[in-house]
Structure 1
Amino acid sequence: MRYLKQFGIILFFTFLGEVCKYFIHLPIPAGIYGLVLLLIALMTRVIELEQVKEASAFLIEIMPLMFIPASVGILNSWGILKNICIPVIIVTVLTTVIVMAVTGRVTQFVIRRDKRRKT
Structure 2
Amino acid sequence: MGGNEGAVDRLRRFLHRNGPLQLVLVLAFWLAGQVLVMLTRIPVPGGVVGMLVVLLLLATKHLSILSVRRGAEWLIRDMVLFFVPAALAVLDHRELMGIVGLKVFAVIVCSTLVVMCVTGLTVDLSCRRP
| Global fold match (TM > 0.5) | yes
- In the other structure, the counterpart of 2:27 is 11
| Unmatched segments (≥5 aa) in structure 2 | 1-16, 91-105, 122-130
Aligned ranges 1:103-118 → 2 under 5 Å: none
- In the other structure, the counterpart of 2:124 is none
Task: Read off the aligned partner of 2:35 and give its amino acid letter.
Answer: V
Task: Read off the aligned partner of 1:57 and give its amino acid letter.
Answer: E
| Unmatched segments (≥5 aa) in structure 1 | 76-88, 106-119
Q: Which moved more, 1:45-54 or 1:96-105?
A: 96-105
Give aligned-pair identity as a percent.
29
Q: Shift in Å at residue 32 of structure 1?
A: 0.9
Q: Shift in Å at residue 93 of structure 1?
A: 4.3
Measured against aligned partners, the alpha-carbon deviations of 1:59-99 in whole angstroms (never above 9, x if no partner) come to: 11111221335x38x89xxxxxxxxxxxxx95x54441134
Q: Which moved more, 1:41-50 or 1:21-30?
A: 21-30
Task: Read off the aligned partner of 2:21 and give its amino acid letter.
Answer: K
Aligned ranges 1:30-69 → 2 under 5 Å: 30-69=46-85
C-alpha distance in structure 1 between counterparts of 2:83 and 2:29, whole Å: 22
C-alpha distance in structure 1 between counterparts of 2:41 and 2:118, whole Å: 29
Q: TM-score, normalised by structure 1?
A: 0.59
- In the other structure, the counterpart of 1:111 is none
Counting matched residue pairs gives 93
C-alpha distance in structure 1 between counterparts of 2:47 and 2:120, whole Å: 25
Q: Shift in Å at residue 8 of structure 1?
A: 2.1
**Two-structure CA RMSD over aligned residues (Å):** 3.4
Q: TM-score, normalised by structure 2?
A: 0.55
SS in 1 for 2:49: helix
Q: Shift in Å at residue 58 of structure 1?
A: 1.4
Task: Read off the aligned partner of 1:14 and give its amino acid letter.
Answer: W
